Amino acid sequence: MRIKDPKLVAELAALAIDLRCATSLSELTSLGIGGTTDLLRITKHDSLPALIELLERHHIPYKFLGGGSNLLVGDGELPWVILQLAKPDPEIVIVGTLAHVDAAADLGRTVTFCAKHDLGGMEGLIGVPGTVGGALRMNAGAYGMQIGSYVREVKLYRAAARKLEILRGQQISFEYRHTSFAPDDMMLAVTLELPSKPYKEILQGIRICNEKRRSSQPLGQKSAGCIFKNPPGASAGRMIDELGLKGLSVGDAKVSDRHANFFVNAGQASAKDMLALIADVRGRVEKAFGVKLENEVVVWNA
Ligand code: EPU
């Protein structure tokens, strides 16, 4: 979708929106898959209500993009524009045991920044790609921890109410790879309350998690992390592996040889290829185990 109306372009500029025309989503997603549309980078949180009002007035559909690390975007010309927060400076402010973090901040950098201030708890999240906003939305977790446990407060834009709101941690439900946020809520900033720990101890925990991840996941390849959620009490990766599906491919979309719940873009995979591979694997697992795997990856299909 293209924004061409010069009047609208001027109105966007007045809201300090950085308009990047004809952006390929394959460059903004860790899978390296996705078609083309206009990207609107938001430099001021407070301009969001006016921006949404403006887009709706002009009948321009939109979607909110975080770090693009858990996302499969459709091919070709996309029928919506993309909104993304620009990174502010600073991204993180520490006050005692509280970390005030912008949603656009990189998750890994946030973990290490907090560690340097003797604030731990998030060691398991090192190596999880994406932004803090994206991690919050899906309650990212690994190695026995999840980000939701540390949330004290979230600032967000609620599209349904068309306003900026602040929610306390207790008002949000954080479950396994799921939260009570609405699909059109846009995370803006979070305050995390973290346990005090000496930097050296946190670093040791980070090293252990890094090592585990490196030994079991295809880190150097284009992927969206795990494709499916684990069903209760089971591992999707183990089930797919048991069926001998590592290496199975549709075009350049391939089940990783290293971890069967990671599907990689081994070259020029299209969304169509990746969706066909997901459907094929889901079907085979259901046939063999009677379990219908649920996507962890978010799909934006045109
Ligand atoms: N396994 C296999 N073959 C495989 C993959 C795994 O046999 O190809 C076995 C492993 O040997 C192990 C079990 O399955 O006995 C579980 O594997 P793993 O420890 O790798 O954990 P997982 O359940 O596959 C989950 C998260 C990961 C997270 C790790 C570590 C989900 C869907 N995945 O993976 O998160 O990094 O635990 O905590 O919850 C993600 O969500 O994108 C993600 C990568």
Residue 194, both tokens: 């973290």
Q: Please state, in angstroms and as integers, the Cα–Cα distance from residue 4 to each residue in 10, 49, 57, following that order.
A: 11, 21, 15
Pocket test for ligand 1, best of 226, 257, 298 (most atoms within 8 A of CB): 226
CB 170 within 8 A of CB 195: no
Residue 43's CB is within 10 A of a number of other CB atoms, namely 13
Nearest CA to ligand 1 atom 3: 238
For residues 222 and 145, give the distance between their C-alpha atoms in angstroms, rounded to a whole number: 24
For residues 62 and 78, give the distance between their C-alpha atoms in angstroms, rounded to a whole number: 10
Nearest CA to ligand 1 atom 25: 142
Q: Cα of 187 to ligand 1 centre, how many Å? A: 27
CB 255 within 8 A of CB 280: no
Residue 151 CB-half CA count within 13 A = 30
For residues 289 and 287, give the distance between their C-alpha atoms in angstroms, rounded to a whole number: 6
For residues 202 and 115, give the distance between their C-alpha atoms in angstroms, rounded to a whole number: 6
254 — alpha (psi -120 to 50), left (phi > 0) or beta? beta
**What does the pLDDT read at residue 13?**
97
The torsion angle over the Cα atoms of residues 42, 6, 36 and 86, rounded to 10 degrees, is -10
**What does the pLDDT read at residue 213?**
96
Q: Cα of 216 to ligand 1 centre, how many Å? A: 8
Pocket test for ligand 1, best of 126, 145, 216, 243 (most atoms within 8 A of CB): 216
Residues framing ligand 1 (Cβ under 6 A): 142-143, 216, 225-226, 229-230, 235-238, 241, 259-261, 296
Taking the chain (302 residues) in consecutive chunks of 10 residues, what is each chunk's mean pLDDT? 95 97 98 98 95 96 96 98 94 98 97 98 95 97 96 96 96 97 96 98 97 96 98 97 98 98 98 98 98 98 81
Please give the distance of CA 258 from its chain centroid, rounded to a whole number: 22
**What does the pLDDT read at residue 143?**
95
Percent composition of the chain: helix, strand, coil (DSSP 3-state, to 5):
30, 30, 40
CB 180 within 8 A of CB 158: no
**What does the pLDDT read at residue 167?**
98
Whether a cis peptide bond, with omega within 30° of 0, leads into 218 is no
For residues 29 and 45, give the distance between their C-alpha atoms in angstroms, rounded to a whole number: 23
Q: What is the DSSP letter of 277?
A: H
